[in-house]
Structure 1
């Protein structure tokens, strides 16, 4: 089993355990799980997840997000072929999102942002970038891409459900990643539009490690 598949399986197990009752939890390092229902934006100070567009993300919708940091003691994977007989240390971050009750058959752009959710859509700040773009807002595909940021675009099915996962070969800097923002449109990739996904329709606070 590959490293990503193994982490996916662990996250799926955590999701099955947490899915029954919305809650926010912070299991021991290196895992983080958040499961909540969306609340009106006016309740941002106390809510774990808020919606800014109830037609796309109603208050009956729910979200599950998991983060797994990989690296350190015990995180070794045997390599074949060129690395036969040796162990290679893997380091990175795996993020998983599952959504229920959103608008049907809709493609949402979803990214990790730097600040917590607030009463206004822009409260969550810009995208978190492993290597920050010196020019903000960042629309340069050299910086605004799924390898330098965490992208979790989701296309919901006819029941309004969807999920996505992201694996990056780095870890969040402590205290610099605080939320996951759901955007109205699919994420752009071309120069001048890279990372852009339209209006922010919902936000989820996540205590990223």
Structure 2
């Protein structure tokens, strides 16, 4: 049983790199996919996916995040299973890794950083400048979203995907998944 719990709690990662066409020129392509099962911050076997609200994100529910693209071009996809059916979740890429305290992940990753933090200016807090992955869980508790941008993450600038209790710019944090995001170029 412990081995099964450990296998479910540890993130699985698939990294692939290879040649491809980006913008008509021969350029390297990048793809990364990581996944994990959510556990409370006090779980005996820690997970890179932490639930702060087990009604909305039950322990044992799962998340997968994929990042792909090439220089100056990026897509991020989130897929979840086991969520509260019919609930509309906000989901965003945040600057730091998850922690036991929901605030540990810091603020939203911003392509153009707001000089005033915490950021509340709509010129910076919007789906064009941030990675918004809002979704509504289906009847079976699964859901997902993809955000595409003509830019890529700065090295060390993005560290997690946070699931919020409501869609839109921000709100209370229901769960967090630490993701090793990186520039795609």
TM-score, normalised with respect to structure 2: 0.82
Map 1:162-177 → 2, pairs under 5 A: 162-177=143-158
**Matched pairs, number:** 162
Determine if contact 2:51/2:175 at 8 Å carries over to the other structure.
yes
- Corresponding residue for 2:48? 48
Q: Which structure: larger Rg?
A: 1
Trace 1:26-105 onto structure 2 (pairs within 5 A).
Answer: 26-29=14-17, 30-43=30-43, 46-71=46-71, 91-105=72-86
CA distance in structure 1 between the aligned counterparts of 2:44 and 2:133, rounded to whole angstroms: 22
CA displacement 1:37-58 (0-9 Å, x = unmatched): 0011124994110100001000
Counting strand residues as a fraction of each chain, which structure ranks higher? 2
CA distance in structure 1 between the partners assigned to 2:119 and 2:108 by the alignment: 8
The Cα of 1:60 is off from its aligned counterpart by 2.1
**Shift of residue 69, structure 1, vs aligned partner:** 2.7
| Correspondence 1:182 to 2:170 | no
Query: Shift of residue 145 of structure 1?
Result: 0.7
Structure number having the greater helix percentage: 1
Query: 1:43–1:119: 8 Å Cα contact kept in structure 2?
Result: no
Distance change in 2, residues 1:44/1:134 (3 Å): farther
Partner of 2:180: 207
Q: What is the match of residue 81 of structure 1?
A: none
Are the equivalent residues in 2 in contact too, given 1:40–1:51 (CA < 8 A)?
yes
Q: With structure 1 as the length reference, what TM-score do the two structures score?
A: 0.73
CA RMSD of aligned residues (A): 1.7
> Is 1:152 aligned with 2:125?
no
Is the partner of 1:122 in helix, strand or coil? helix
- Alpha-carbon distance, 1:70 to partner: 1.8
Unaligned runs of 5+ in 2: 1-7, 18-29
What is the CA–CA distance in structure 1 between the aligned matches of 2:35 and 2:47, rounded to whole Å? Answer: 12
Q: Secondary structure at the match of 1:57?
A: coil
SS at match of 2:53: coil
- Structure 1's 43 and 117: CA in aligned 2 closer, same or farther, altered over 3 A? farther
